[in-house]
Amino acid sequence: MEKEKKSYNNSNHLPILRKLRNFAMKINENQKFMKYLQKKFISVCFLLFLCSSFAWAQDSVFQEQAEPDTVQIYIRSAQYRQAVEYINRLEPSKDMLYQKALCYKNLNDYPSAIDVLNTLAREYPDDIPIQLQLALGYEAVSQYMKSIDCYDYLLRIDSANTYFEVRKADLFYRSEKYALALGAYGRIDSTYNPNYITRCMAMCYEKLNQTDSAKSYYDKAWESDARDAYSANSLVKIQIKEDDYISAYQNSEKYIQIDSANATMNALNAFIYYNMKYYDIAIERFEKCLQQGDSSLLVNRSLGFSYYLTEKDSLAYPFLQQAFLQDTTNTNVLYILGKTDYKLGYYSEAIECFLKIIEKLTSSDVLLCNINKELAVTYEKNGAFDYALEAYHTALNYARDNTEKMELYYSMAVLSENELKNYTPAVAYYKEYRRCLFNYQSSLTDEQEINEIESKLTALDEHIEQLTVKPDTPE
């Protein structure tokens, strides 16, 4: 009975035990599966981490490649301001800062470009492009000595660079340090563009007023290049200044045979004929200059003077007018224009010219005397007798010798007697004229001339006596 009871109990517990075993087995399997899932999850996470790192790295590389490309797009489209703004948002780098400086340079903001380049030059002192751009920046703002310092530094880096030596010499010239420029040009390799270097040395000698050396070097430069218009023109100009018209003529004709269309040389050639007083040939040459489109002050002024000196006043007039408009400070042009106006009967215009000259002149007594005398005569012609008398008085203030005073007193006496009918002042002027005439007689040695003056003095005394009793015309 007890055995049966045990057997029964065991049979009743078997399903439960089986379930418990199965459940345990499932738990074990689930634990294995969870461990598997955990391993898989870790693997996936690790894979995702690797992928994201690679993608981030790729994005960084792409971004680094895209940044300079964007800057170059802005620069190629001349959007320099936008390029600067874009660079300012980036991490500073040597290349980006260099591009930023170039953008400032293209915007003509040289101070900002110089600031950036100075920063780069301190960090990368041996970088030639940076130092060169800094030199060009200083040159652009006329800080020539600082630019020269940059070229000195560049020559320490690359002592054989002839370009740097030439730029340094050019900057000495531009800063008006002609002796230093001359020395710098002289140290440049003779095989480097000898025409340019020789011409620059000639320019230095000319600035230093060493005209013989300047002529020699201009001549050498011209020999090295037969079409070197600058050297040929400069040589001829110096020869004209030295009144060496024969040499100037020969050299001008020589160059015109090579280049007959050079406006400067054609004008110089005509000017040489003018100075040699071959006015008709000068007119022909200057007219040719006009036909070739040269309406410079030299051409208009010289044509006006040439026509005036050949008594072709109506032809001189328009050229003198144009010359004065081109240079309103030129009293010589104004004087000849006034004389031409007078001869053509344009008295009001002549008066205006002479008055302008008087305003401009401050020191030359002789010239002021002559101009006021011309003004007085023109006032007379225009019927302005009171103004004429005033101009004569002004001329008298600047008269220095006896002859000038004698002529002026006589003109004033005649004007007062005949036009103004003021006999009392006329008598006074005649008496002053007589005093000057007597002084003139005293300076003579020829007996015949002395007798002629004596006759004039006798006649003058009689005329003065007659005027003394005449009443003045009431004003």
CA distance 330 to 107: 41
Helix pair 263-275, 245-258: axis angle to 10 deg: 150
Q: What's the pLDDT score for residue 366?
A: 80
- Which residue has tokens 């002839």? 162
The pLDDT value given to residue 32: 56
Give residue-wise pLDDT tens across range 345-356.
999 999 999 999
State residue 3's pLDDT score: 45
Which has the minimum average pLDDT: 68-77, 124-133, 269-278, 383-392? 68-77
pLDDT of residue 92: 86
- How far apart, in whole angstroms, are the C-alpha atoms of residue 420 and residue 413? 10
Residue 415, Cβ density class (10 Å: 0-12 exposed, 13-18 middle, ≥19 buried)? buried
How much is the mean pLDDT over the chain?
A: 87
The H or E element spanning position 221 is helix 211-224
The residues spanned by each domain of the chain are 403-475
Q: Which two tokens stand for residue 173?
A: 């010239």
pLDDT at 248 over 90: yes
> Residue with structure tokens 């269309």?
261
The predicted model gives 449-454 an average pLDDT of 92
CA of 353: how far to CAs of 7, 181, 331, 361, 372, in Å?
A: 155, 46, 9, 12, 11
Residue type, 159: S
Question: Alpha helix locations (H) across 77-126?
Answer: 80-88, 94-106, 110-123
Predicted TM-score (pTM) above 0.95: no
Which residues, other chains included, contact 170 with Cβ-Cβ below 8 Å and sequence gap of 6+? 181, 200
- pLDDT for the residue 367: 82
